[in-house]
Amino acid sequence: MDVSIIIVNYNTKRLLADCLNSIYEQTKDISFEVIVSDNGSKDGSIEMLKDNFPQVILIENNANLGFGAANNRGLAIAKGKYIFYLNSDTILLNNAVKIFFDYWENSPEKDSIGALGANLLNINKETIHSGGLFPDYKSDISGLTHNIYGFMKQFFFHTLFKKNLPEYKNEKSEKIIGQVDYITGADLFLKNDNFSYFDEDFFMYCEETYLQYKLSQENKKRILIDGVKIIHLEGQSAEKITTNLVHNEASFAAIQGKISRIMYFKKTGSSFISIFVLKLLTAILWLNPLIFKYTKNYIKYIFHPEKNKTQFY
């Protein structure tokens, strides 16, 4: 078996069906299997898979284990030489799996490769965020300070003038070819070995970044390659509360991202003082009246991120 494609699903029945159809339509001249690790979906995903995709290997977790843990369940039974972690909200536009496989197999530096990825596209086929530099606590502290100030202005503006907050939109990104610190977890191609397992302390987000941080410690390269075409319907597999600015900080995805980044900095050896400042600023941000009703149940996880084992998103 050349490649095991592992997809985590949680209530994304329509998106998952589109993703699977694109895999079977586009993937040719390579042996592969598809493993769907389902985190307790209630939207008919299981029935859809059994009726329409009987060839898919289905793992029914019966609970939301989180992204990394669910992928690990798939990895534990994967038979492929390589692993392709793929989000359910993606659509393959070409023979991406074969392109990844051939690049690794034919590379003169194949033994030094740790992970491959592609420049992802939005629905308009514009390049979107696909990877970059490892998180930096100084940048996070700066960003949190900026957001606190911005939210204070927004709160008073909204309270005094009853104006709607501006809409939140995903920004386009520049195309990157070559080495990066990390590749996003939406399309992550790896060798099937012990370095492919996620740290299950992360419930959602930063688990792929930490996995690649560990690869960097082994001097394994993470590379965005050209030629692969994958649409990522970014954010559509996560809960959406609102389309305005509140979404930046109030959505479940944004909340989980903040908790996971604190976890990441702890695991990668940031100083006690820098982590304390991050926790404090995150708590101040989440106490803002505009988002407090969304964040109040998660404030405790700022200080104990390892206990964040939320069952629903």
Residue range 215-264, pLDDT digits in tens: 999 999 999 999 999 999 975 544 444 445 566 788 888 899 999 999 99
pLDDT, averaged across the chain? 90
pTM over 0.75: yes
pLDDT digit string (tens) for 94-120? Answer: 999 999 999 999 999 999 999 999 999
d(CA 60, CA 40): 7
Q: What confidence score (pLDDT) does residue 150 get?
A: 75
Cβ contacts of residue 95 below 8 Å, gap of 6+?
26, 27, 28, 29, 30
d(CA 180, CA 116): 10
DSSP 156: H
Taking the CA atoms of 60, 63, 65 and 66 in sequence, report the sign of the dihedral they define. Answer: positive
Q: Report phi then psi at 121, rounded to 5.
A: -120, 150
